[in-house]
Structure 1
Amino acid sequence: MTRIRVNVVPVVEGTDRGGSAGGRASVGCPLVDTIVVDHPLARARLSTMRDARTDNATFRAALRELTLMLIYEATRAAPLAEAQIHTPVSRTVGYRLATPPVLVPVLRAGLGMAEAALNLVPEAQMGFVGMARDETTHQPVPYMESLPDSLVGRPVFVLDPMLATGGSMVHTVELLTRRGADDVTVVCALSAPEGVRRLEESGLPVRMVTASIDERLNDSAFIVPGLGDAGDRQFGSV
């Protein structure tokens, strides 16, 4: 695991990340700790998602499987509580998450990550934030939110396949912090350096887990090389 301070360095699958044997690389920023999950299986699923020939059903399946890997890493340091359990042979000490997290998919694209995350962390509570993108200005347009009144002391995982400009994510994290959240992890399939930088500049209490930091945004604010529109790739154009 390599940590690089201040500069956000693009990491693209197929290049040398300096990753550890555990399949993780890390880009450290002053305010955002970014973990790049570059396990071979994660890279394979992301490649399936990138491929323009991949149909909607296969894309959704690859995103679900990749989400499991990302959540696995995102919860690596989650505090545990001990509990006495009985095996068929004897009594022993078991473990559970000390504090059930809150999962917040950003609609609509984040819906494709929600079921996989909840399957892995079934004790989690769900919240929802709806964001659309103005295709002219590329700015986020919020249209709904359904969140617990208080997030004090709760770990929160925001689910969105893509972090592009970062505008939607900053807005979402601001909603969470206004409810007392101070332990927020953004979970994305892939990210643009511009989005990571915007999170960094926001000063919000957030870290990020992603499968790739790509090269850049193009003039239409799409990630390059990216995978297109994650919502359309899952559900078809609307």
Structure 2
Amino acid sequence: MHLIDVDHPLVAHKVRLLRDIETPSPLFRDLVAELVTLLAYEATRGVRVEETEVQTPLAVAKAVRLLDPRPLVVPILRAGLGMLDGMMSLMPAAEVGFVGMVRDEETLQPFTYAERLPQDLSGRQCYVLDPMLATGGSLGGTVQFLVDRGADDITCICLMAAPEGIEYLRTVVDPIGVPCTLVVAQIDDRLNEKGYILPGLGDAGDRLYGLAQ
């Protein structure tokens, strides 16, 4: 697994604002979209393209375009939805699938409750969106899910990650043999006893959309 810890002053500035308990949900959503666009710039450096030509007003120029099949963006519900606009603003030609995965708060293990993905992902590059890489169960389970359907290149984009989650994800993806990249804005200190990232920013889904109880 290739880890990219994005080191950029604008990324660090937006992370600070996300952490602030006083940041309201509307601003939080805007910041997430902005931050994901910055992360996506790094995450898509290896996106597959082919050479082509384009007619300018003056001459024919060499160019590139995205290869078919188009990249597939996969937000993990529900918090991953908050990252989708930022990703699609940079790569609007990508297609979108969804995975609903939730963590059992007692066992800390994930289970899938919904999915909307092509049955055959052969030859597809996939970009998985998950704000918080805590224990790693949800993200690791999603990566395995995509590989089982034929995905051959996966990039995971997270706002924050705990060292424990990074190492768990590495134990999942390295034996698979499919290229996997993890792009993060911030690596935090550790997990607490409930499996939340410290110092973190709280529950990303709740801060994006409210408690929804």
Give the TM interval when normalised to the shorter protein. over 0.9
Q: Paired residue for 2:189?
A: 215
Map residues 45-64 of structure 1 onto 2, 5 A cutoff: 45-64=14-33
Alpha-carbon distance in structure 2 between the residues aligned to 1:135 and 1:77: 36
Q: 1:190 aligns with which of 140, 152, 160?
A: 160
Identity %: 48
Q: 1:224 aligns with which of 198, 204, 212?
A: 198
The answer to whether residue 48 in structure 2 is matched with residue 74 in structure 1 is: no
Query: For residue 74 of structure 1, what is the amino acid of its counterpart?
Result: A
Shift in Å at residue 106 of structure 1? 0.1
Query: For residue 132 of structure 2, what is the amino acid of its counterpart?
Result: M
Flag the structure with higher helix content: 2
Q: Paired residue for 1:130?
A: 100
Q: CA RMSD, aligned part only?
A: 1.2
Shift in Å at residue 224 of structure 1? 0.5
Q: Paired residue for 2:5?
A: 36
- Describe the superposition over 1:189-225 as per-residue Cα deviations: whole angstroms up to 9, x where unpaired: 1101111111111134322001111110001111011
The TM-score normalised by the length of structure 1 is 0.84
Query: For residue 218 of structure 1, what is the amino acid of its counterpart?
Result: N
Map residues 15-164 of structure 1 onto 2, 5 A cutoff: 32-99=1-68, 100-164=70-134
Equivalent residue pairs, number: 207
Alpha-carbon distance in structure 2 between the residues aligned to 1:79 and 1:41: 27
Secondary structure, aligned partner of 1:221: coil
Query: For residue 125 of structure 1, what is the amino acid of its counterpart?
Result: E
Alpha-carbon distance in structure 1 between the residues aligned to 2:131 and 2:153: 20
Q: Runs of 5+ in structure 1 lacking a partner?
A: 1-31
Shift in Å at residue 59 of structure 1? 0.6
Q: Runs of 5+ in structure 2 lacking a partner?
A: none
Spell out structure 1 runs of 4+ moving beyond 3 A.
Answer: none
Shift in Å at residue 88 of structure 1? 1.9
- Describe the superposition over 1:164-209 as per-residue Cα deviations: whole angstroms up to 9, x where unpaired: 0001111111110110112111110110111111111113432200
Query: For residue 119 of structure 1, what is the amino acid of its counterpart?
Result: S
Alpha-carbon distance in structure 1 between the residues aligned to 2:181 and 2:123: 16
Alpha-carbon distance in structure 2 between the residues aligned to 1:82 and 1:207: 24
Query: For residue 33 of structure 1, what is the amino acid of its counterpart?
Result: H
The TM-score normalised by the length of structure 2 is 0.93
